[in-house]
Each structure stands twice: as structure tokens, then as C-alpha cells.
Amino acid sequence: MRVIGLVNQKGGVAKTTTASALAYGLARNGKRTLLVDFDPQGNLTVACGIVTNEGNPPALKLIDLKTSAEIENLEPGLDFVASGIGLETANMILAGKPCRELYLKRALKKFENEYDYVVIDSNPSLSIITLNVLSACDEIIVPFKPEFNSEKGVNLLIETVEEIRQINENLRIRGFLVTMADRRRRSTNESVEYVKEQAQGCQSKVYTSWIRQSVVAADAPKIGKSVYDYRPGSPLVADYEAFVQEFLKEEEDADTRKK
């Protein structure tokens, strides 16, 4: 089981959209996948068409050692843990505890043999909730919107990952994903070039597949459908399919190297 987080403390960069597209994509490629909404905003939960107890959502139960979280099945091969505003209390519940960053990691251990991938959507901050995501992950993917001020956020994230390695030694930034891209703008390329340099500096990379700007991404969550079901055949879906294939290819290449 490999745990992958979509992380960027900057808001509105398509973490949630990408978490959904990656998880549906993996499941439809035959991988047993658990998608976890670990953001108190609960945007992914709404996007998946799930109604939950927002005050005491399943995601909050993940950090409670005495109960187990309800898991929903979204489609064959894809399970889901919903979130809502009540997850915010985790920041207070865990604040005074020793090992407060390790609760999510511990909860996910239970699923070791059940899933090939756990995909976690995180919130735009660096709170205890986010630290739990960073501690639980083997790898993170950093979606970023290539624009003038996105660089600062990327630098801060790289520094945070380095610090987290004190408690999660093998955490690695698997890659940076360009989202909401407008290829016609010169600033887009400038920003991507900058992130490429930063990525190389931390043994990571920027994915070759870029996700373009498209209203499909904005409209699909409103009706609780994945982008694949909402507009199959659209350019946005083609972008996400290419990204999922690039992701799976990395895995194959890594396996070949091991052999």
C-alpha cells in the first residue's frame, strides 16, 4: 500500500480536483484505492456526492483510536472516507498530545493489505491536520497553478517537507503537477521553469502532463460527479488520463529497476 497526499498550503490550486481525478483514475486502472478527504472544508466529500455528518465526520474518527471510521464505496475498487467542518476540532484534540502528528498514519496502517493506494486530499494550511497528512504519506504530489506568486508557496512547502523528514524519514515529493494552465501566457512557462529548478533541487520533477484550465473542473463537483463521468472525452479528462498514465508508468519503471 502506498499513501499519496495532494498537498500545497496555498489554496485553490486543484488539490481536491486532482485527488478525485487521481483516485478515480487509479481505481479504473484496476488499483484498489481508498480516497480520504482530510480537509475540514469537505469539498471533496461534496464533489463525490456524499452527504455526511459534518459535525462529526468519518475523517475525525480516523484520529480517534477507539472507533473506526465509516467507509463508503464510490464504485468498484474505490472507497472513500468523508470529511466536514468537525474535522477542524482535530487541531484542538491533538494539540496537547505527544506524537500528535502520527494519528492518521496509525489509522491507515489498518488498511495495509486492503488497498494498493490511499490518496489523501489535504487542506490549505500547515496545521496539525496537515502535519498528520505529511506524516502518513510515503509521497506527496504538489499541484500548483503557474502564476506570478506561486513560487513562494512552493519554496515553503519544500522546506516543510525537509522538516517533516525528522519524523517521516522517507517522505518524498513525487512530483509537481501544473494545474489550471493557460499555455498561451508567457508567465505560465516562466513559472513552470522556476518550479522545475526547485524540483530538481529536491530530487523531484514537474510532471510532463499539464492540466489545462477548463470549466469542466469547476462544474463537475457541483453535481457530485467525477470529471470522467461528467464530461468523458473532454480535453480536461484527456489531461487527467495522461497524468494518471504518467503516474502508473513511474511505478512500472521503478519495479523494472528493482528487478
Ligand X SMILES: Nc1ncnc2c1ncn2[C@@H]1O[C@H](COP(=O)(O)OP(=O)(O)OP(=O)(O)O)[C@@H](O)[C@H]1O
> Least separation, in Å, of the C-beta of 166 and ligand X?
25
Q: Which does 60 bind (CB under 5 to 8 A by kind): ligand X, Mg ion, none?
A: none
Residue 8 or 209 with smaller CB distance to Mg ion: 8
Residue 7 or 192 with smaller CB distance to Mg ion: 7
> Least separation, in Å, of the C-beta of 178 and Mg ion?
17
Contact (CB, 8 A) for 121 and 16: yes
The amino acid that residue 254 corresponds to is A
> Least separation, in Å, of the C-beta of 131 and ligand X?
16
> Least separation, in Å, of the C-beta of 258 and Mg ion?
34
Q: Which does 12 bind (CB under 5 to 8 A by kind): ligand X, Mg ion, none?
A: ligand X
Residue 16 or 33 with smaller CB distance to Mg ion: 16
Residue 40 or 77 with smaller CB distance to ligand X: 40
> Least separation, in Å, of the C-beta of 8 and Mg ion?
9
Residues that bind ligand X (CB under 6 A): 11-17, 39, 41, 43, 123-124, 179-180, 211, 213-214, 217-218, 221
Measured from each CB, the residue nearest to Mg ion is 16
Residues that bind Mg ion (CB under 5 A): 15-16, 43
> Least separation, in Å, of the C-beta of 16 and Mg ion?
3
According to the 3-state scheme, what is the secondary structure of the chain? CEEEEECCCCCCCCHHHHHHHHHHHHHHCCCCEEEEEECCCCHHHHHCCCCCCCCCCHHHHHCCCCCCCCCEEEECCEEEECCCHHHHHHHHHHHCCCCHHHHHHHHHHCCCCCCCEEEEEECCCCCHHHHHHHHHCCEEEEEECCCCCHHHHHHHHHHHHHHHCCCCCCCEEEEEEECCECCCCHHHHHHHHHHHHHHHHCCCCECCCCCECCHHHHHHHHHCCCHHHHCCCCHHHHHHHHHHHHHHHHHHHHHHHHC
Residue 65 or 223 with smaller CB distance to Mg ion: 223
Q: How many residues appear in the chain?
A: 259
Q: Which does 217 bind (CB under 5 to 8 A by kind): ligand X, Mg ion, none?
A: ligand X
Residue 192 or 217 with smaller CB distance to ligand X: 217
